[in-house]
Amino acid sequence: MLDIKMLRENAELVKENIKAKFQDEKLVLVDEVIAFDIEVREAKSRRDYLRSRRNTISKEIGGLMSKGKREEVEAAKAEVKSMADELAATETKIDALEEEIRKRMLVIPNIIDPSVPLGRNDTENVERERFGEPFVPEFEIPYHVEIMEKLNGIDLDSARKTSGNGFYYLCGDIARLHSAIISYARDFMIDRGFTYYIPPFMIRSNVVTGVMSFSEMENMMYKIEGEDLYLIGTSEHSMIGKFIDTITPEEKFPQALTSYSPCFRKEVGAHGIEERGVYRIHQFEKQEMIVVCKPEESAEWFEKLYHHTVDFFRSLDIPVRALECCSGDLADLKVKSIDVEAWSPRQQKYFEVGSCSNLGDAQARRLGIKIRSVDKNTYFAHTLNNTVVAPPRMLIAYLENNLNEDGSVKIPEPLRMYMGGKAKIELPN
């Protein structure tokens, strides 16, 4: 959410930003906010006058009573009563106007970074750099579900009976590999100085609306019936919510956190749910990284965060690339975002396995996350998040890049301690 003062003083900048995101239907919101803001300020000015005048008259009443001026006392009391009624009506008007402003401010997009490339959607994202050499073996690589099924590692049919499409049973060495990747990701981030968390897997609605846009919420979140609770779509939601309504001394920042959680997503939209795959599903697990920092530090942290993901995948011999998200592909709260994509030798192209985002002070402004400086001034923090790894999607890249011609799967050195020392997952007899 933008600062109302900034919008008031830079309305054209806000409108140009909306145009850069190809959301022209939201241009009218800026003018509506400005109009409501003028009404609010006029109403507050009237409220302040009424309060001051009421106090003055109230003090005068005592003097009038001591002088026995009963008629003037009654007139003064009537004026005070009239002012009290108008004051109550003005307060109600202010509350209603501020609610109208907030509703519009919540859907006006954040100001994007000048470096963000202009584009309408993800087809216009721009490749920034590649890491590792893409490799295509001489033998044919099966679909990822076929690889797992040959290793007795997945059961989609049973999951479809119990839960429907978009769910799965992982089993045997594939289930163990899944857990090994999560455990390795946890330790990988701890070794890089991040504090490990396991957060709540449900959050209240005020946290949901604080961490994400309404369109994301509609397409992602599952609500718990009869309660003010939602299942999280990523642990970022809980972790940023942890700081709600806090004012923290400057010396305690930056805070670099890494969190594990299951994630639950409706996955509503054009992509849909695959019946025979685990790329887009309703339930998965993820290791996340979150940073809360001073505004001047967020650009540097953004570069650090996505490189952590790159380094993680490269440590497992998986080629990746960094893709700069264009203006039209950015969610409304984001200032800048980079997708990390892994190489698929079967498809001979890259596909998304993680996303790194700088949200500026948007989440902090919605949730009241403030920093207190040494001179006792307060200001909003900046928040960032990035995926370390999200199996089972990452399993697709892992299996394709480590598959042997005989159907067995190599286990890179960093994962072996989590796999009981195994160097390979063999086909069952």
Domain boundaries, the chain: 4-105, 122-425
Q: Within its chain, how far is the Cα of 7 from the centroid?
A: 23
pLDDT tens string 191-219? 999 999 999 999 999 999 999 877 777 77
pLDDT of residue 274: 62
For the record, the structure tokens of 307 come out as: 């490189």
Indicate the range of 12-21, 43-52, 255-264, 377-386 predicted with least confidence. 43-52
321: closest CA among 341, 337, 351? 341
389: closest CA among 318, 263, 287? 287
Distance CA 292, CA 236 (A): 11
Taking a C-beta distance cutoff of 8 angstroms, is the pair 287, 190 a contact? no
pLDDT tens string 72-116? 777 878 888 888 889 999 999 999 999 999 999 999 999 999 999
Distance CA 176, CA 18 (A): 46
pLDDT of residue 71: 77
Fold match, 4-105 / 122-425: no
pLDDT tens string 333-366? 999 999 999 999 999 999 999 999 999 999 999 9
pLDDT of residue 15: 98
For the record, the structure tokens of 12 come out as: 């054209």
For the record, the structure tokens of 333 come out as: 């709260």
Looking at domain 122-425, its CATH architecture is 2-Layer Sandwich (3.30)
Q: Within its chain, how far is the Cα of 144 from the centroid?
A: 29
Q: Tell me the fold of 4-105.
A: Helix Hairpins (1.10.287)
3-state secondary structure of 370: strand
pLDDT of residue 213: 79
DSSP category for residue 250: G
pLDDT of residue 273: 62
pLDDT tens string 5-30? 999 999 999 999 999 999 999 999 99
pLDDT of residue 126: 97
The rounded percent of the chain whose pLDDT value lies above 70 is 98
Distance CA 425, CA 408 (A): 6
pLDDT tens string 252-287? 999 999 999 999 998 765 455 666 788 889 999 999
Indicate the range of 237-251, 259-273, 363-377 predicted with least confidence. 259-273
Taking a C-beta distance cutoff of 8 angstroms, is the pair 419, 411 a contact? yes
Distance CA 148, CA 143 (A): 9
